[in-house]
Structures are given as C-alpha cells and as structure tokens.
Amino acid sequence: MNIAIEILNEPELEFGRGLRAVDPKTALSKAGPFLCATSGDLPTIPLGLIAPHHEAKSIKRWFERMQRLLLSNESNSLRYSRFPGLGQAFGVKYSIEPRSIVTLDARRLGLAMAEPSPSARFDALLEVYIEAVASLCGDTAPKAILVFFPEEVADLRVQNKLLSDDERRVLQRITKQENDPQMHLFDQGEAKEKITDLLPQATELLERQFHRAFKARVMSLRNAVPTQVLRRHTFHDGEATQSAATRAWNLSVALYYKTGNVPWRPASLDDRSCFAGISFHHLKTRGGSLVYSSVAHAFSNNLEPFILRGTPVPQQQTRDKQPYLLPDQAETIMDRLIKGYAARAGTNPSRIVIHKTSKFQPEEAQGFNRAAAGRVPQVSLVSLRPTGFRLLRRGSQEPLRGTLCRVEGDHTFLFTTGFVKWWDEYPGPHIPAPIEIVGDDLSDRAHEILTLCKMNWNSADGLGRFPITLSFSSRVGKIMTELSEDAEPNPSYRFYM
C-alpha cells in the first residue's frame, strides 16, 4: 500500500498587539485578546443575572474570584495553565449591578416543577425563564445575561407534543435508519459520537430539550441579548470536575465573545474568503409535513459569523441515506450566502468554500456554481467524511495533529485531533480518528480546516475536532427544531453558543 505522509504547520491565531501564537491561553496571558469593542484602560462590561437568591450570591462571588489569579490542579500544566485574572487575560472587568439581577421566585419555580405532566412542567419553567430574560432586554440592557439552571432544569427533556402519532412513528423509523449507517463508521468511542452528532438525527424532533428551547425563545425576543447558561459545577468548587483556573478560562472566553468582543482570529486566512458549513435537520412544517431543514453557518476572517436558512428539503430527497439539495435549493443558499456577506462587507467575497459531512451531489455543485457565476471568482466544495482509518507513529504513539495522509493517491485523511506538541500530550481517551477530505487543492483545504477547528469560542483550548463551519451549523440546526418553518434565525453566532 502506498502511503504518503505530510505534517502540516499548526495554524497560528492573532491576538492583541499583533501577537501570533498557536496556544490561546499563553497568548491571552501575554498580549490580551484580538479586539475589545469597549474603550478604556480597564473597561467595565455590564452583565445581567437570573438566578434564585442564594445562587445569585455565589455567582457574584465567583466573578469576583475571576478578577484574581486562579490556579489549576490538573496534571499537565502546559495544557491547564493558571488563570491570570480577567484584567490580565482580557483587559476587562465584568459588573453585575443590583438593577440587572432578576431573582427567581422560589414559590413560582416550585409550582412550575410541580406540574403533573412533563410537558406542562417544561412549558411552565420555560415561561418563568423567558419572562425573566425579557425583563432585562430593555433600552439599558446588559451586554449578556447570566442564567442559572439547576440540574433538573438543565437536563429536562420531553416528548414533542406537537407531533401526531403517525409523525412520531415515522420519526422513530427514521431514527433506526439513521443509526444503521452511523453505528459501523467507527469503533466504540468518542470519535463515533462526535461524528454522528453532525448528521441529521430524528431524535432532535422527537424530543424537546430545555436548553435548546430556551435559546430559541431568547433570540426571538425584542431587543434580544445573548445569554450564558451557568450550572453549579461552574462556580461551586465542591461540585466542579475541573480546576478553578480551567473553569475561569472557558467561561471568560465564551463570555468575552458574547459581550461583543473577539478573543482571537485566524492569522492566515484571507480576509475576502468566506467559509460556510451546510447541515440538515428534521423539521415539522405548519401543514404537518416532515421535511429536512437546510442551514448554513458562514465564517469570514473580518466579519461577524452569520447564520442563514435554506429552503426545506422533502424527507424522501436522499441519496446514500443522506439528504441533498436540488440545483434550485443549492442556488438559493449560495445566493443568500453571497448577499449576506456583501451586506456585511460591502463587496462580494473573492472565494467561497462550502463544507459538508456527506458527498456533494452533482445537483448541489450545479446550483452552487450557477449562483456564484459572475459574482464570486472561485468556489470550492469540500466533503469531510467519517472514516474508520487509523494510523500510529513508531512506538505506538498517536499521530500528530495536522498529519495529512494520502493513501494510494485516492484517499486523503486529515488528523484534526492527535498529539499536540505545545501541550506535550494527546488529549483524548481513544486512538485518534481522522476525517477524509474530498475536494480540490487538498493541502490548502486541509490547512484551512485545521485553522477553522480553532475557532470555537466556547473553550479556551482553541482546538476542536471539526471546523466551526460544521460544528456550529449543527448546533444551529438543533435549535431550529424549536422555530417555525418560516422563522428567520437570528444571524448572530453569539445567541447559539
């Protein structure tokens, strides 16, 4: 077997004062974030808070602790570095003023939790939380709202009561069909679970999840404000599974972005290139039909990431057991993507790269290229497919992150996970599984994918298995199950995190 190995350079990120580095925590500690939208030597960013009285006190104390140095107790200090304090790492201070605190009424919460049916309990709790958020979304709204979920609320799931018995049976049958091709893609372990999470799953429509329903309702409010959900293990040391430093790093990166700022950005991506991930999710139409909803998440180096929705795809419109777009449907998404970029940048992109977790069908390529003709000089279609391929370095060591492996000149595999040199460890419990990439100029596309895997601002690690284009379009699609078929999604990335 002919195998060619290439180790790609680790993509650098750009931080404050023009610093370029591969590790966000180290770079933030040295130079601060890439962009702060609030001026001043140590700008104060106002936050709202929704919680029961006793938890509100604990949350405020936690944010006071985050202003100071916090130590880590994990074994690898290269990966789990100490947290230098918000001022040192981000150059900001968060303020939770009394007028921006909504104390959840214990009696009303108790009555909601006492509702006899799970669906009634779900709806009652949702109204309690949405009313509290809406009360803070006025003219003097905070930049983001901290919302405490007790465990029984955070984990709440109920059957979707909007489905008829026939629709439920159809979705249950689809669930079995979806699981069959997914289950054999990988050995048991983390890789399989993460891959299948990006594929359409009927269970997302069969069940309602409280967190998703909450996010969908919040973004539909007038003068909506991004929210940050908190659970006890974030701010209570006795219930935490991570050190105080690690918890502070992850929370502060997410919150910094949600309050209108930019922690870091890619150092090597062209500013006029637009990257978009296409995903599909099950949707119930107003007329009672079950369809697929197509969603695109667009990322560009100099723009706020944005979301757009495509046209519904009939349930039977599948090939190789995966939904796909007809030419007109693909043309619609590409047209919206170009217009969305132009509205924000004032000009069309010079290049568009589309990511998808399944093979691009000829109809899709036809529609994408037709919409881009005469408007965008270059369009690249890149499939990122699940694979059972494995590779070990000499001595049974994990392959390096960034390993590009070509087999017989026909298959190209990219390890977006693997041994991380600046941590001096492989951060996974299983042998790393690569993704197979299919497209043009694969070395260039692979470097872009590695870069976009570092743009998940939900974590300070700066590493993900999948590019933000795909992992985020999947997250958006799940929340879309709570919206009607004609509802326009809030375009801002901040509301879905």
Q: What is the pLDDT of residue 186?
A: 41
Q: Bridge-partner residues for 290, per DSSP?
A: 284
Query: Each residue of 319-368: pLDDT tens digit?
Result: 988 899 999 999 999 999 999 999 999 999 999 999 998 899 999 999 99
Q: What is the model's pLDDT at position 199?
A: 66
Domain with CATH 3.30.420.10 in the chain: 3-7+267-495
With a cut of 60, say whether residue 192 has pLDDT above it. Answer: no
151-171 confidence digits (pLDDT tens):
999 999 998 887 777 777 777
pLDDT at 239: 93
pLDDT of 111: 92
The 10s digit of each residue's pLDDT in 444-458 is 999 999 999 999 998
Lowest mean pLDDT among 182-191, 288-297, 333-342: 182-191
Closest by Cα among 47, 27, 40 to 88: 27
Structure tokens given for 392: 């070990």
Give pairs for 310-317: CB < 8 Å, separation 24+.
310/278, 310/336, 312/283, 312/285, 312/485, 313/280, 315/170, 315/174, 315/289, 315/290, 315/291, 317/292
**Residue 435: φ, ψ to 5°:** -110, 145
Percent of the chain past pLDDT 90, that is, above it, reads 64
pLDDT at 429: 77
pLDDT grade, residue 286 (50/70/90)?
low
Which tokens is 364 given?
Answer: 């899709």
Q: Per-residue confidence at 179, pLDDT binned at 50, 70, 90?
A: low
- The rounded percent of the chain whose pLDDT value lies above 70 is 93
Indicate the CATH number of 3-7+267-495 among 3.30.420.10, 3.30.70.520, 3.40.50.300, 3.30.300.30: 3.30.420.10
Is residue 304 exposed (0-12), middle (13-18) or buried (19+ Cβ within 10 Å)? middle
pLDDT of residue 182 exceeding 50: no
User: Which range, 107-121, 202-216, 343-357, is most confident?
Assistant: 343-357
Does pLDDT of 307 surpass 70? yes
Q: Which of the four pLDDT bands, split at 50, 70 and 90, describes residue 103?
A: very high
pLDDT digits (tens, 9 = 90+) for 446-497: 999 999 999 999 899 989 889 999 988 877 878 888 877 777 778 888 998 8
Among 335, 285, 284, CA closest to 310: 335
pLDDT tens readout for residues 375-416 = 999 999 999 987 877 776 776 688 899 999 998 878 999 999
**What would the two tokens of residue 376 be?**
């965008």
pLDDT digits (tens, 9 = 90+) for 410-422: 899 999 999 999 9
How many angstroms separate the CA atoms of 48 and 100, rounded?
Answer: 5
pLDDT at 436 over 70: yes
Query: 52 with 129: CB under 8 angstroms?
Result: no
| CATH 3.40.50.2300 domain range(s) in the chain | 22-159+206-258
Among 3.40.50.2300, 2.40.160.100, 3.30.413.10, 3.10.180.10, name the CATH number for the domain at 22-159+206-258.
3.40.50.2300
Is the model's pLDDT at 188 over the cut of 70?
A: no
pLDDT at res. 187: 41
Q: Which two tokens stand for residue 452?
A: 């976009």
Residue 146: its pLDDT value, please?
98
The per-residue pLDDT of the chain, averaged, comes to 89
Q: How confident is the model at residue 196 (pLDDT cuts 50, 70, 90)?
A: low
